[in-house]
Amino acid sequence: MEATKKADANVVVVGLDLSIEDEFVDHLDLLLLGYQTQLVNQDVSIAKGPIILVLMCSGSIDISFAKKNPNIGDILWAGYPTKEGGCAIANTVRV
């Protein structure tokens, strides 16, 4: 949280893993797991600059809470990138 307060912009990465998104595994709902929604909302509430939300998942996720928040500047769906995915995300969200 201290880094969020000091940064000019923040990139928050959330998503699902293969324990939820795997063949023959059904979602019980479309929500982010654990405290991810709470983390995003906390970051948004204390950030002095824009928040860029990066989603790492293969299926659908309910991000209506983020779409409605004017402090989230952009939302990027990254899927499950390969080894160069971090560089691709960094180049895409460069502020």
Domain at 34, CATH number? 3.40.50
Residues of the domain holding 56:
2-93
Q: Encode pLDDT of 13-30 as tens digits.
A: 999 988 888 888 877 889
Q: Encode pLDDT of 36-72 as tens digits.
A: 999 999 999 999 988 999 999 988 899 999 999 999 9
Pairwise CA distance, residues 95 & 39, whole Å: 22
Number of domains in the chain: 1
User: How much of the chain is in helix, strand and coil states, percent to nearest 5?
Assistant: 30, 20, 50
What number of H helices and E strands is found in the chain? 4, 3
Place of tokens 């709902």: 29
